[in-house]
Amino acid sequence: MNDTIKQLQPTELWRHFADLNAVPRPSKKEERVIAFIKAFGEGLGLPTVVDKVGNIIIKKPASSGMEDRQTVVLQSHIDMVHQKNSDTVFDFDTQGIEMYIDGDWVKAKGTTLGADNGIGVAAIMSILSSTDIVHPPIEALFTIDEETGMTGALNLEGGMLEAKIMLKLDTEDDDELTIGCAGGVDITATSAYPTASVGDGNTAFSLSVKGLTGGHSGAEIHLGRGNANKIMNRILYTLNKEIGISVSSIDGGSLRNAIPRESKAVLLVAQKDVANAQPIFANLVADIKAEYAITDAHLMIEMNATTIPESIMDKDFQAKLFAALYACPNGIYRMSPAIEGLVQSSNNVARVLLQNGNYSIQCLTRSSVDSEKTDLGNAISAAFEMMNAENITFSGSYPGWEPRPDAPIIKIMSELYTELFGEKAHVNAVHAGLECGILGTNYPEMQMISFGPNIYGPHSPDERVQISSVQKFWKYFLETLKRIPKN
């Protein structure tokens, strides 16, 4: 089906997207895609540099007649979020994404598509490889590891770029011009925990939460979708409170920037309490499914008999764990009082793993206000302290991107959008993390704006990109390049 994708319009963009998606490119494992982009630039005979961390910069002179225009940075990230459905057999480390066309959409078979940010990468590649597109001098910047720490942007040295304008192709609604974003920090609690042996007279159950919608933990956190880790903890807490249970293991979520879609646990119920547990569980499941009927219509919660595990959590630790996870903030923490509809601060309880006497709980905390990010981080840390976590770390912190609504490029692109499409673009800030805040620390005078086509369900296997919207984005992008002002 990838050959069919290459026949879509604009063919050059879709061809590059299909070629890119044939290259495995998980965050922090970008060696193959770095080599792919490097070979692409060198194959065009363009100056191509790979910096010390793997960011690639490819420079292209202006097209004929555009030599007097300002140089522009075209920027996208080359890594992608790797998520798949539990019943999908797929190896992200070795396989290319399997795409198909569904009406006006391009989708992937049971996995993330990589349109975030592959469409942006493909659009830049199309400009670099073109022989007839009108454009100013170009500095193409392909960054690594945007999805799991933004280490590419964090380690890009000052002086690598000369341009004073950056067009970032990493927004997921085609009527939006993004001019600001939230900052973030990774919070992790890890430690060992005491275990106990399993006594007689117990029945073991495998508890699973799956079928949640998931999605981007920044851009879609305001939609109120279920978090598998919080739902799992709610069930375990309630069962323990009502009848007393013993938990052997919990494994929920995966990536920090994805709302957890699945969680599983193994627990013990005393044989004398099994009959009482069933109606409690059934009523709780009914309540939860009713609460999430709109946002997560396909939610499934199942508890089935399984084999007896070798060990369980110490009872005292188990109680503290349930309390800490219940207390840990998740979702919206505060809405912006300055920008209507904008989430100012949030947290995603992204990963909960407890097994064999060790645990790791991972969160991604976001805020457009640094002091509030610190405050929310303290609240999360306090929750983990309730379970006597020995190691609570704050890492990968990155700054927000402060909006500059009076920047000339914003005026140019806003007016152009109205001219082309007969309506005003939504000029806004987003709660998702973008690299502009980081890049701006070394290039404080650079005007930055982000835009792109409609990409729905990013960071989930429901990710899809709209074909007609890509065509709209492409038209807008090409005309923008023509409107770049003179030096």
The confidence score (pLDDT) of residue 263 equals 98
Give the residue from 254, 33, 94, 72 showing the smallest Cα distance to 169. Answer: 72
Active site residues: 79, 146
47 backbone dihedrals φ, ψ, rounded to 5°: -60, 120
316 backbone dihedrals φ, ψ, rounded to 5°: -65, -45
Contact predicate 84/90, CB 8 Å: yes
442 backbone dihedrals φ, ψ, rounded to 5°: -95, -15
Q: Measured between alpha carbons, how far is 284 from 298 in angstroms, rounded to an integer?
A: 16
Give the residue from 320, 54, 335 showing the smallest Cα distance to 182. Answer: 335
One pLDDT digit (tens) per residue for the chain, 487 residues: 578 999 999 999 999 999 999 999 999 999 999 999 999 999 999 999 999 999 999 999 999 999 999 999 999 999 999 989 888 999 999 999 999 999 999 999 999 999 999 999 999 999 999 999 999 999 999 999 999 889 999 999 889 999 999 999 999 999 999 999 999 999 999 999 999 999 999 999 999 999 999 999 998 999 999 999 999 999 999 999 999 999 999 999 988 999 999 999 999 999 999 999 999 999 999 999 999 999 999 999 999 999 999 999 999 999 999 999 999 999 999 999 988 889 999 999 999 999 999 999 999 999 999 899 999 999 999 999 999 998 999 998 888 898 888 999 999 999 999 999 999 999 999 998 889 999 998 899 999 999 999 999 998 899 999 999 999 999 999 999 999 999 9
Contacts of 227 (CB under 8 A, 6+ apart): 212, 259, 260, 330, 331, 348, 349
Give the residue from 85, 55, 170 showing the smallest Cα distance to 461. Answer: 85
Per-domain boundaries in the chain? 2-182+400-482, 185-398
- Mapped onto helix, strand or coil, the DSSP state of residue 422 is coil
The conformation of residue 99, written as its DSSP 8-state character, comes to: E
479 backbone dihedrals φ, ψ, rounded to 5°: -70, -35
The confidence score (pLDDT) of residue 402 equals 85
Give the residue from 4, 72, 55 showing the smallest Cα distance to 446. Answer: 72
The confidence score (pLDDT) of residue 127 equals 98
The confidence score (pLDDT) of residue 1 equals 56
The confidence score (pLDDT) of residue 3 equals 83
**Fold match between 2-182+400-482 and 185-398?**
no
List the CATH code of the domain at 185-398.
3.30.70.360
- CATH number for 2-182+400-482 (one of 3.30.360.10, 1.10.510.10, 1.10.10.10, 3.40.630.10): it is 3.40.630.10
Give the residue from 88, 144, 77, 150 showing the smallest Cα distance to 115. Answer: 77
The confidence score (pLDDT) of residue 339 equals 83
The confidence score (pLDDT) of residue 179 equals 94
